[in-house]
Amino acid sequence: MVYHGLKGVTCVETAISRIDGEKGKLIYRGYNADQLALASTFEEIAYLILNGVFPNEDELQTFKEMLASFRVLPESAEKLIASLPSALDDMAALRTVVSSFGDITYRFRPTMAEAVRLIAVAPTIIAFRKRLMDGKEPVQPLSELGFVENYFYMLKGKRPTEAQMKALETYMILAMEHGMNASTFSARVTVSTESDLVSAVTSALGTMKGPLHGGAPSAVTGMLEDIGEKCRAESYLRAKLEKGERLMGFGHRVYKTHDPRAKALRIKAEEIAGDDRDIDLALHVENTAIRLLEEYKPGRKLYTNVEFYAAAVMKAIDFDASLFTPTFSAARMVGWCAHVLEQAGDNMIFRPSAKYIGEMVSQ
C-alpha cells in the first residue's frame, strides 16, 4: 500500500508534543499549549520544550543569559546579509544566513548550546535584513530585553507596548511546536543521516518556505483586505463558497474542532483590539464564516485555525505580511531544535521505500 504524503504513518516516538485533533488539544511536554501561552513567557516555554521540565528561577536566568549572549550577529553574518540580492525573499535570506553558521563547531551530535545559539540569533537575522531592505539602520539587541520584546525592538526601533508584546509572545509560543509537521520531519530526516544541527534547521527552513506550510497567514491578510468592511463580509464569503473556493484561515488537516491556538490568540486579539478596525473586522469575519461554512458544508467541522488570528494579531501590531513566515520560523526554531536533539539521542536513518510505476524495458 502506498501512503501518499505519508499521511497517518507514525514514524517516530516523541515526548515533545502531542496533538489531539478530535478534542482540539495541543500538548507541550504534558501541558496544554494554549494555557501555557496565556500565562508564561517565551523563555519559560522554550526551556520546557527543549528540556522537558519547567525551569527553576536559577535555570531560567541562566537560559536567558545564554540567549542574550548569542543574540548579537557576528560581523561575517552582517556582511553576508548586506551582500544578499535585494530580490531575495526574507525566508531565503534567513535560510542562507543560518546555513552560514554551520562551521566546524557544528557536527553530529548536536548540543543544547548549539540549539540555543540558533534560537537566539534567528530574530536578529530577520530584523537586520528587514531594516536594511527598508533603508533603515539595523538596531542592535539590548541585553536587558526578553526574547520577544527584543525582536519587536530590533524591527521597529522602539519597545512594544505591554499589549503588543504579550500578543506577539502568545503567537510565538503557540508557533513553537506542532508535532510531526513537514518542516520538523525534514529536520529529523536530515539529522538522521548524522548531519549537523545547522543542516537540519536549514532543511526545515527550506520546507517552511513553501506556501502550503508557512505562508497561510499572508493569504488570510489578503482575504481580510479584500473584504475591507464588515458589510461586505457575507457577500464575499458566499461568493467564495459558491465557487467551491477555500476560505483562508478556516479548517485544519488535524483539528476537527476549534484549533486551541486560535482560541488563545483570539483572547489576545480582543485584548489589544480597543478601537482597532482590523481586529474588529477579523472577529466579524470569523463569526460570519463559521455560520456560512456550516450552511454550505454541514458536518465538516470547519473552524478558525491559528493562521486566521495570527494574521489579525500581526496586522494589529503593524508587522508587514512579509514577516509572517519568518516570525513563525523564529518561534518554530525551538521545536525544530528539540526534535533534532531527540532524534540524535536515539537515531536511525530515515529510509522509506518507493513503489516503482514506470515501464520495464529490460526483462
What is the set of active-site residues? 252, 307
User: Whose CA is closest to 155, among 190, 131, 119?
Assistant: 131
Could you give the CA distance from residue 21 to residue 159 in angstroms, rounded to a whole number? Answer: 37
- Three-state DSSP string of 148-159: HHHHHHHHHCCC
How far is 207 from 95, CA to CA, in rounded Å?
10
* Residue recorded with cell 536533539: 341
Query: Hunting for cell 505580511 — which residue is that?
Result: 321
The residue whose grid cell reads 506542532 is 178
3-class secondary structure, 288: helix
Q: What is the DSSP letter of 321?
A: G
Residue 186 burial (CB < 10 Å; 0-12/13-18/19+)?
buried
Ramachandran angles phi, psi of 64, nearest 5°: -60, -40
All three cell numbers of 44:
519559560
Q: CA–CA separation, 216 vs 324, rounded Å?
A: 9
